[in-house]
Each structure stands twice: as C-alpha cells, then as structure tokens.
Amino acid sequence: MNQGSGVGVQGQWYTMVIMITNIFLTGAPSSGKTTIIKKVIQRLDHPANGFYTEEERIEGKRVGFLMRTLDGKSGHLAHQDIGSEFRIRRYGVSIENIESIAVPSIAPVDRNIIILDEIGKMECFSEVFKQSAVRALDAPNVVIGTITFGGDQFIMNIKNRADMEIIEVTPDNRDALPAFLLQKVSGILGI
C-alpha cells in the first residue's frame, strides 16, 4: 500500500491509503517477463481474462509477435510481412488486431484477474489500447502484466501510478517470481 496526503474539507489533513492492485514486471528484452506471466496463468486458481504475447519463429528466426487471449483468440501483434504505417524495426504493427483481440480481452469482468502482457511501444500505437489499459488499471480488479523497460510519457505515467508495483526481472529473481506474484495476488484478494 502507498500513502498520500492532502487537505480535506475545512482544512483538515487526511491520509489516503492507496491499495496496490496492479503488479507489473519490467526488464530487458528476452529477460523472461512473458515466460513468468505464462507460468502465473498456468497456476492461477482464480478466474482471469486478458492476453499475453509470444515471439513467432520460423526455422529459428523471429518473424513476428503473436497475441493470445486467455479465452483462445490469437493474431499477430506485429510481423515482418504486415504492411503498416506503424513499425518497430522490420515489423509492421497490426492496430486492427490490437483493437479487436487485445482490447476486448482486458476489459474488467467481475472480480477476474486481468493479464496485460504488455504495455509496450507496439501496443501503444493504438489510442484505443491505451484508453483500455488505463480502464483496466483503474478498475478494482487485480492486474498482472508487463511493461516496457523505457517508454514514452504515457508509459512513464503508468509506471508512476500510486497503485502500481513494478518488479524488474533479473537472472537472480526470474525463477522465484511466478510464486512471488501468486502470493502477492492471494494477499490482495484475501484468499
């Protein structure tokens, strides 16, 4: 929990306790963030919705990135053969897939845990995605996700939220993080 303070009615000071409900991993590319998220998904004992991303490889060579929702939908986030005005290096980014696959998957549902892998440069080309990510983070649901290591002003604002805990994935903590995240979620949910 984080604390903030301010001045209330009639000049009385008050203290706000802000509950951490958003737990995110960050780290260098290929540090294991998505692998950890997938292990958490496999071991979750609570309803969840959302998406995760994976590299697509052909003959050992990365050709793109896929998004997979927890309810079985999938599509390219980016691919070397996608013609798009939005590009990261050689990959064209599919705004249509972000908005038709990722966005609906992160809508808050009941008390579900929301999996949001990731808030990154590719996803943030979509204003609809950015608005949906903020709605998910603002909801009372627990959100487990990943966020890019650096980032523009939008990403920095997300990282600076009082209800956010960000853990950097390192070779030293990578193996322990799935159990650690599940324990944190159990504590938040009181289960």
pTM, full prediction: 0.89
- State the pLDDT at residue 165: 95
Q: In whole numbers, what is the pLDDT of the chain averaged over residues?
A: 92
CA 90, chain centre distance (Å): 24
What local confidence, expressed as pLDDT, does residue 13 receive? 62
Domains of the chain with CATH codes: 22-189 (3.40.50.300)
* 14, pLDDT greater than 70: no
> Which pLDDT value is given to residue 15?
61
Is it the case that residue 9 has pLDDT exceeding 80? no
Residue 10: per-residue pLDDT: 58
User: Which tens digit of pLDDT belongs to each residue from 21-76?
Assistant: 999 999 988 899 999 999 999 999 999 999 999 999 999 999 999 999 999 999 99
Whose CA is closest to 42, among 136, 178, 141?
178
Instruction: Assign 7 a pLDDT band (cuts: 50, 70, 90).
Output: very low
pLDDT band at 137 (very low <50, low <70, confident <90, very high): very high
Instruction: Say what the pLDDT of residue 19 is.
Output: 81
Checking 154-158 for CB contacts under 8 A at 24+ apart, the result is: 154/124, 154/130, 155/119, 155/120, 155/124, 158/119, 158/133, 158/134
